[in-house]
Structure 1
Amino acid sequence: MKKVVFALFFVLLLSGCQEEKKVSPYDVLDEYIVTWKEADYQKMYDTYLTASTKETFTYDVFLERYEKLYGDLEIDNLTIEVLDKDQTWEEENSVTIPGKLSFDTFAGKIEYEKDFVMEKVIKEEEEDTWTIQWDLSFILPDLELTDKVRIDSTTAERGEILDSEGNPMALNGEVFQVGVVPGQFEEEKSLSLLAGIINMDEAYIKSLYTLSWAQPDYDMPVKKFLLEDEEVVRKADEIEGVTVTRVNERIYPYGKAAAHLIGYIGEVTAEDLETLEGYAPGDKVGKRGLEQLLEDRLRAQNGQKIYLEKEDGSTLDIVETASQNGETIQLTINGNMQQTLFETLKEERGTATVLDPTTGKVRSLVSLPTFNPNDYVWGLTTEQRQSLENNPEQPTINRFSYTYSPGSTMKLLTSVIGLANGTLDPTLAYEINSKEWKKDESWGDYKVVRYHENDKNVDLESALKFSDNIYFARVGLEMGPEKFMEGLENLGVGEALPFTYPTVKSQISNYGALDREILLADTAYGQGEFLLNIVHLASIYGGVINNGNMMQPLLLEEEPVKVWKENIVSQEQAKLLQTSLRKIVSEGSSQKANISGREMAGKTGTAEIKMEQGTTGTENGWFVSYDQQDPTMLTAMMIEGVEAKEPRGSTYTVEMTKRFYEALRVSQ
């Protein structure tokens, strides 16, 4: 009997404990916060808001304010924090719980403290619970029903790109914009006339002023022009229904002359938005060249502000991110030299660079043929874009970033390597009595051919003066593959060129070795599988001119001048090679490079692009040169297809280099 009484007492005791347990306002608030983060607005409204709140705000107003403001302001990363959970609440009918809200918007992060006023709801047959007094300041601080949420934007400017003298190579400026007002434009009478004046296809012009969002009184943009094109614009403006306005746009003053180097900007694509952070449809982004490579620095950050406009007209700022202009970046490029180099070569295919061997600063860098970057910014038709991309001359290919066979300009590299490792005695002469040579019968029918027979006893100076293939083939064989490859690696071959503008890595051979005698011999005089970038080649020549120290090539004025490869040859050996480079022009195979008033020095090269010996292929003509009176300017030039030029071969490149120096003198 005692056991039954004890059990009954335990049940009654447990029942009494359960009756005394009360719902905590903190638990209700936690549930509300979870529902809030899940954006379950119906449950938030129906379950947790006080009756007085619902009298003030209908569900439609509650829902519309949350969804619209959260969407328009791009609210994300919502955090709701309860700051004090230690208050006594058991005997209270109302509890104020301090809290803190924070979230991100497109204009920046918003953080503010907000009290949660909890009211007890007493129920007769159910447990008491708690509800929340809600108002619009739960969405934005200080927001009231009569307030208007406003957004303001401050436009920032993209950073400009300047040449070494401070002249703009990419800038933000005014251009003319020709437009059409559809309701005022007489198509049958004026379309062909306008097309002829602004040099655009009639169908394309029509497609622009008949876009889906066009209206009869809208000014529909058609084409932009530089301010210097005022005469063309004036003629277009005389047509009824055609408008001319001035708008801000990205401008490339050097146009075709620096297209591959500077690049251009364009609207972000759907693919861009998948990979780039902080961009929105309609934003501009670098698409090629330095505009793309330096995007993070050039990019402008527009200012954004969210504020409240009160009923009395006063305003209250909620959050603001200040606008930030992009950086202005100064290049080592000399704009005048760049333009002169381009004008000299504008009808050619190839690439050229000018650098200062004493500092490594690149003064000019061109790739030809080319395009006008302004056309890409101001609008190309689909047909125009396809015409550029399908052009067999490949104007959109950036040649100065690629590698090429250096032809006989390689002979200076072989000389540098042999002198540095001690395998080449510059005074030792090879007896060479014929135009053709092979090591032994193991070479089969393959022979090395020399194109000048000026000397029978050929030393280094003579071999460089007359570009003797047999001499350098024998130097390479006697050096051996291991020492030759080690020497190339000491010149930076096989490693990434430490240059702001990315280039393809140079290569020793197609498979990275020189383990065949014929390949080694051919490489030593410049006809193997060895490939080199033009800036890298110019830098190696620059190391000889700079008395043995090869400088890191620089493209930005802010970059520190520093040695890339130290002591590629001794000062004495550098002087020896400088003398030979001068004699190549004064006495040897490149005498056409002589210019009155200058002491020109340099080395030519003709790279034959063919499948096998005995066949006919195309030729790239090289000339690397400098004036020994001014060792701060070295020019490396490569022209494609010189087999069809007059004069033929590298002599044509010599002629073009000479024209460049002469034109540069006039322009200065």
Structure 2
Amino acid sequence: MKNRKISLTFLFVSLLLFGCQEKEESPYDVLDDFIETWGGFGFEEMYDTYLTSSSKENVSYEVFSERYEKLYGDLEVENLAIDILDREQTWEEETSVTIPGSISFDTFAGEVDYTIDFVLSKEEREDETNWYVDWNPGLILPGLELTDKVRIDPPTPAERGEIVDNEGNKLAENGEVFEIGVIPGKFNEDDLADLSKIIGVGEEYIKSQYTLSWAQDDYVMPVKKFLREEEETVRAAEEIEGVSVNRVNERIYPYGEAAAHLIGYIEEVSAEDLEELEGYSPGDRVGKRGLEQLLEKRLKATDGQKIYLEKEDGSEPVVAETEPSDGETIQLTINANTQQTLFETLSEDAGTATVIDPTTGKVRSLVSVPTFDPNDYVLGMSNEQRQELENDEAKPTMSRLSYTYSPGSTMKLLTAIIGLDNGTLDPDHFYDIDVKQWQKDDSWGDYEVTRYYEEYDKVNLERGLTYSDNIYFARVGLDMGASKFEEGLTNLGIGESLPFIYPTAETSQISNSGSIESEILLADTAYGQGEFLLNMVHLASIYGGVANDGVMMQPLLLEEEEETVWKESIVSEEQAKSLQTILRKVVSEGSSTRANVSGREMAGKTGTVEMKQEQGTTGTENGLFVAMDQKDPTLLTVMLIEGVEKTEPRGSVYTVDLTKQFYESLNN
């Protein structure tokens, strides 16, 4: 009995020990660990831990790690994925096993994706037998051998997409310019002052360019580029010994200042750009400001790239290749000639203006002044020139196209639209207005509404609009009530984002709080003061709704955009035609007779806005005029001029004169 007990115990212990023996590691386990280390770029561990002895004899660690690190770096390898394709092979009785796999990754020249055979062999090391990887260079790149050279072709240039107007005229194009450079070994610094004077660049900046750390005596060190029409300046500079002139490709803005804020410009990517944007490298250029920035993804060109192997037999198998891809050509609704004419009309002032086609919503012109020349940014500016532009008190780099403004008395048409639409305004009802200043009752304290025209003691809608009667519209607003007035403004799109591709810095508003909270604010808002603000394109769209028989179209800037009704019926067709008649009388016999243009049937409405820091002080004034030619329903203009308290003639009359000048220029 005792002996049997010992035997059973021995058997139990033997089984236990056998069950606890470590299971032999499979080649798949080793390959999984190798792949994981590879994916973490652990090249030293890959070499030391996983490679077969014969692999190490064929390639030193220095060559192994350098190949991986340099190629992965030079080729900008990302998204490395290594997979085992078949895990069903038997291996228990084998000393070598081949396991199919796949390798893929992205490079600057495109994706590399290929299959590979992983070969693993059994080796005994330090009394242990395990599986090791038979490494070959083909694991780095498809078909790569140690004797191969990896080559990268220079990029095949692609062209940035151009921006054209509705007739195909180029607003941003790729063209040829002159580039002036200095050859340090041939240039005499005694000529520096003359060169500076000729090309309009400071001496310090010129010198900083030809004394850069990488400059050589025989190198041409670029200083500044010039447009083709500036050839006279270029040739004068070329007369100086050591000055070189070449022709190079560049982004050009043919309409310069006239479309600067609309189109924008391109510049070299900044460090911040490289962090925020995908697909850019140092030295690339990207859209800054305007449509160049807004449409960057569509305009961006992708240069062709090619990575290939150079083999000893002269063959050159391709590893990765991307064909060059030009950016899109984008056509705007803008008409370049109209844009140029409008800019020339406003160029001596500060303000903004737009021209739209009310029947389609297509915007024909967008101008902001003062402005800058976008060509200066691509042709070359010194830091001093850039700072001078940015610090200019006139704010030429600020795009007034994006901002909202008080509409002044142009608001009166909006009040009329709302009242007619909701039925609170009877256009034939006469208010008795026989005073210059008016208030509802004593609850208003010292506050009164002042009228500036006293043509009539009895005023209806026609007389109220024709002579811009503040008291009439204040009373219309009060009789309507804040709730209905706010609802009507909302129906005109106030408070919602302007459905327009050009970005606006602000959203239109009813008031600072978002609602009309007092009778005085209601009265002020109804005749065009208060805290009401909207973008000038929005104002043009509302007036365009009246010109288009009550249908308000969405403003469009790209020809590819579909014509879309923004607001179906802001007033009835009959009411719209009545308002058209009244707006014509504003010009033919009312407050804006100066706007009459020979051969046109001008209609419109003026507005003057005083902006002051506090009540009782004198502030600056904006003068507005919304104008349309009723003989040509496709042409409606909104113009806002700042500082009209200093102009001659003063106020919105000055804006009327500019508008008339613009329409007369279109006749020529």
Alpha-carbon deviation of 1:81? 1.8
Q: Provide the residue aligned with 2:363 in structure 1.
A: 362
Alpha-carbon deviation of 1:410? 0.6
Q: Provide the residue aligned with 1:172 in structure 2.
A: 174
Alpha-carbon deviation of 1:3? 2.4
Alpha-carbon deviation of 1:15? 5.4
| TM-score, structure 2 normalization | 0.97
Q: Provide the residue aligned with 2:610 in structure 1.
A: 608
CA-to-aligned-CA distance 1:469-503 (integer Å, 9 cap, x gap) = 11111111111101111111111111111001122
Q: Provide the residue aligned with 1:510 in structure 2.
A: 512
Of 77, 80, 86 in structure 1, the residue corresponding to residue 79 of structure 2 is: 77
- Which whole-Å CA distance do the structure 1 matches of 2:433 and 2:197 have between them? 66
Decide whether the 8 Å contact of 1:23 with 1:127 is kept in 2: no
Q: Provide the residue aligned with 1:556 in structure 2.
A: 558
Q: Provide the residue aligned with 1:618 in structure 2.
A: 620
Paired letter, 1:625: A
Q: Provide the residue aligned with 1:118 in structure 2.
A: 120
Paired letter, 1:323: P
Of 24, 27, 32 in structure 1, the residue corresponding to residue 26 of structure 2 is: 24
| TM-score, structure 1 normalization | 0.97
Q: Provide the residue aligned with 2:387 in structure 1.
A: 386
Alignment of 1:279-358 (within 5 A): 279-358=280-359
Alignment of 1:524-543 (within 5 A): 524-543=526-545
What secondary structure sits across from 1:392 in the alignment?
coil
Structure 1, 305-314 or 498-507: larger mean CA deviation:
305-314
Of 512, 520, 523 in structure 1, the residue corresponding to residue 522 of structure 2 is: 520
What secondary structure sits across from 1:193 in the alignment?
helix
- Which whole-Å CA distance do the structure 2 matches of 1:431 and 1:26 have between them? 98
What secondary structure sits across from 2:279 in the alignment?
coil
What secondary structure sits across from 1:128 in the alignment?
strand
Alpha-carbon deviation of 1:518? 1.0
Q: Provide the residue aligned with 2:656 in structure 1.
A: 654
Q: Provide the residue aligned with 1:204 in structure 2.
A: 205
Structure 1, 147-156 or 487-496: larger mean CA deviation:
147-156
What secondary structure sits across from 2:645 in the alignment?
helix
CA-to-aligned-CA distance 1:52-79 (integer Å, 9 cap, x gap) = 2222212211111111111111222222
- Structure 1 residues 23, 496: CA separation in 2 closer, same or farther (over 3 Å shift)? closer
What secondary structure sits across from 1:80 in the alignment?
strand
- Structure 1 residues 437, 117: CA separation in 2 closer, same or farther (over 3 Å shift)? same
Q: Does residue 53 in structure 1 map to residue 49 in structure 2?
A: no
Give the count of matched residue pairs. Answer: 664
- Which whole-Å CA distance do the structure 2 matches of 1:554 and 1:208 have between them? 44
- Which whole-Å CA distance do the structure 2 matches of 1:644 and 1:31 have between them? 80
Alpha-carbon deviation of 1:276? 1.1
Paired letter, 1:258: A
Alpha-carbon deviation of 1:283? 1.1
What secondary structure sits across from 2:314 in the alignment?
coil
Decide whether the 8 Å contact of 1:619 with 1:642 is kept in 2: yes
What secondary structure sits across from 1:607 in the alignment?
strand
What secondary structure sits across from 1:626 in the alignment?
strand
Of 28, 33, 36 in structure 2, the residue corresponding to residue 34 of structure 1 is: 36
Alpha-carbon deviation of 1:589? 0.9
Q: Provide the residue aligned with 1:419 in structure 2.
A: 420
Paired letter, 1:86: E
What secondary structure sits across from 1:644 in the alignment?
coil
- Which whole-Å CA distance do the structure 2 matches of 1:223 and 1:601 have between them? 49
Decide whether the 8 Å contact of 1:121 with 1:130 is kept in 2: yes
Q: Provide the residue aligned with 1:401 in structure 2.
A: 402
Alpha-carbon deviation of 1:48? 2.3
- Which whole-Å CA distance do the structure 2 matches of 1:412 and 1:27 have between them? 80
- Which whole-Å CA distance do the structure 1 matches of 2:131 and 2:366 have between them? 74
Q: Does residue 579 in structure 1 map to residue 581 in structure 2?
A: yes
Q: Among the aligned pairs, what percent are the same residue?
A: 69
Q: Provide the residue aligned with 1:243 in structure 2.
A: 244
Structure 1, 214-223 or 9-18: larger mean CA deviation:
9-18
Of 597, 601, 606 in structure 2, the residue corresponding to residue 595 of structure 1 is: 597
Q: Provide the residue aligned with 1:491 in structure 2.
A: 492
What secondary structure sits across from 1:182 in the alignment?
coil
Decide whether the 8 Å contact of 1:23 with 1:128 is kept in 2: no
Structure 1, 105-114 or 332-341: larger mean CA deviation:
105-114
Alpha-carbon deviation of 1:615? 2.9
- Structure 1 residues 3, 555: CA separation in 2 closer, same or farther (over 3 Å shift)? same
Decide whether the 8 Å contact of 1:643 with 1:649 is kept in 2: yes
What secondary structure sits across from 2:103 in the alignment?
strand
Alpha-carbon deviation of 1:512? 1.2
Q: Which consecutive residues of structure 2, in runs of 5 or more, have no partner in the other structure?
A: none
Alpha-carbon deviation of 1:88? 2.4
Alignment of 1:118-157 (within 5 A): 118-122=120-124, 126-152=127-153, 153-157=155-159
Decide whether the 8 Å contact of 1:22 with 1:127 is kept in 2: no
What secondary structure sits across from 1:183 in the alignment?
coil
Alignment of 1:225-244 (within 5 A): 225-244=226-245
- Which whole-Å CA distance do the structure 2 matches of 1:635 and 1:22 have between them? 85
Q: Provide the residue aligned with 1:274 in structure 2.
A: 275
What secondary structure sits across from 2:516 in the alignment?
coil
- Which whole-Å CA distance do the structure 1 matches of 2:92 and 2:573 have between them? 92
Alpha-carbon deviation of 1:19? 7.6
Decide whether the 8 Å contact of 1:264 with 1:288 is kept in 2: yes
- Which whole-Å CA distance do the structure 1 matches of 2:601 and 2:574 have between them? 20
CA-to-aligned-CA distance 1:129-157 (integer Å, 9 cap, x gap) = 22222111010010012211111222211
Paired letter, 1:597: G
Q: Provide the residue aligned with 1:220 in structure 2.
A: 221
What secondary structure sits across from 1:285 in the alignment?
strand
CA-to-aligned-CA distance 1:258-307 (integer Å, 9 cap, x gap) = 00000011111111112111211111111100111111111112222211
CA-to-aligned-CA distance 1:200-240 (integer Å, 9 cap, x gap) = 11111111111222222211111111111110000111111
- Which whole-Å CA distance do the structure 1 matches of 2:19 and 2:642 have between them? 96
Paired letter, 2:358: P
What secondary structure sits across from 2:67 in the alignment?
helix
Paired letter, 2:344: E
- Which whole-Å CA distance do the structure 1 matches of 2:24 and 2:425 have between them? 98
